[in-house]
Chains A and B, each alone.
Chain A
């Protein structure tokens, strides 16, 4: 049976695509699936750093598409999770060296070798985006609860629909306290506008920064709320029926008392 190719995209930069790609990939690998994560952000290589594999790169995805090496030569096995592989981006080329047709050809080969291939799309809706979605079966749109990210996600969702991909949504970096104070859009507000199937809600978590800087997959940190959220998302993408867990809106003792006595 052929594997699935899932593209992780957003439109806007800095919303957590790379973190989500590495976390979902690692979580699926922990579920026992053979997973490849592919960095499609040609020219701005990041996924290898987040995975802590930057010192082991010989070949990259551009080499694979251009026929300079085989997929097995470019795929780097993760140090901690056996079933997880990384195919890095090229740092010296630009995104125009790849064509959607070339990527689609490689995607068909990847499908035969892996259960899941997670593509980390670059920000924007230009050639890099077109390349990333060329061979995808499914799409996941990452969005943070701010107006500009929602606007860009909406545009990307329209483009994905136009290519017959029905994306799922991950709302990332939710800060329940700020939502409660009305300083941030809630995930309901985001869903109201984007109106697509929800893959999961990820709370703001300082451990993401530590994870990225140390090259440790987030899902391996058991005390990380974001890591737990990504593990649940991976289960859902794997077809398991896991209920959506809303990030806790922790309230202080004083606010609880105030609410009880009708002061707020």
Chain B
């Protein structure tokens, strides 16, 4: 039987022309150093002048431990440069937009579920993130999405956006007439008849669900740039 609790304190693997040493800081320092010694001695001459990267994973506040291990390695072994894991660089917004413009968002993967057709009574649709339906949603149909719900047609069924508790989600449709609306943890019963003519959207404002005319209060107009969702 595999014991998942008993992890090794040090893992060693080759990385390019050097070595990548992964350290589990939950183990005692003496145990970690003893294991590093054992592994490097096993490598014998292969470790000489090798560039080493010390990796403590996501654990913060381990700078002192890393420093001590680094000085131990410098004193006891003939290694090349010893460094810690490089930090991931975040791409500036401007550069990301230039990339988006030239590559057409090809590099992005999306969780959006897009369906075409009529959702009938008794049908249930669950989307992990956003849900887009190009068609009508009939009374008795149920939609649930982790993000926004966009219906390019009449929305007359039950709809839950922002499941389970994202109050920032919205529900949009060209003809807004749902029987039950839930956004995050807030629920409202439908009006029973279509509101104003034209596209509308529901969102949460001051703890309650409000329905607004899309042409007058476009929820997206504050966004200056198309972003992958």
Contact = CB atoms under 8 A, between A and B. Distances in A.
Interface in A158-199: 158-159, 161, 193, 195
B118 A151 contact: no
Contacts of B120: 154-155, 157-158, 161
A174 B178 CA distance: 27
Nearest to B138: A154
A190 to B, nearest CB: 12
Nearest to B120: A158
A-side interface size class: 10 to 19
Contact of B139 (A157, A158, A159, A193): A193
B140 A155 contact: yes
Contacts of A151: 121, 139-140
Interface string B56-72: 00000000000000000
Interface string B101-137: 0000000000000000010111100000000000010
Nearest to B139: A151
Contacts of A157: 120
Contact of B122 (A147, A155, A193, A195): A155
Contacts, number: 27
Contacts of B140: 151, 154-155
Dominant SS at the B interface? loop
Scoring B122, B136, B139, B140 by chain A CB atoms within 10 A of each residue's CB, the highest score goes to B122
A154 B118 CA distance: 10
Interface string A130-160: 0000000000000000010001101101110
A152 to B, nearest CB: 8
A195 B121 contact: no
Contacts of A155: 120-122, 140
Contacts of A193: 136, 138-139
B36 to A, nearest CB: 61
A154 B121 CA distance: 6
Nearest to A196: B118
Contacts of A147: 139
Contacts of B139: 147, 151, 154, 193
B140 to A, nearest CB: 5
Contacts of B118: 195
A49 B84 CA distance: 89
A161 B119 CA distance: 12
A193 B140 CA distance: 11
Interface in B150-208: none
Contacts of B121: 151-152, 154-155, 158
Contacts of B136: 193, 195
A209 to B, nearest CB: 30
Contacts of B138: 154, 193
A158 B125 CA distance: 13
Contacts of A161: 120
Contacts of A154: 120-122, 138-140
Contacts of A158: 120-123
B122 to A, nearest CB: 4
A151 B140 CA distance: 7
Interface of B: 118, 120-123, 136, 138-140
16 contacts: A151-B121, A151-B139, A151-B140, A152-B121, A154-B121, A154-B122, A155-B121, A155-B122, A155-B140, A158-B120, A158-B122, A159-B122, A193-B136, A193-B139, A195-B118, A195-B136
Given A151-B121, A155-B120, 13 more contacts: A151-B140, A152-B121, A154-B120, A154-B121, A154-B138, A155-B140, A158-B122, A158-B123, A161-B120, A193-B136, A193-B138, A193-B139, A195-B136
Interface of A: 147, 151-152, 154-155, 157-159, 161, 193, 195
Top 4 nearest A-B pairs by Cβ distance?
A158-B120, A154-B121, A155-B122, A155-B121
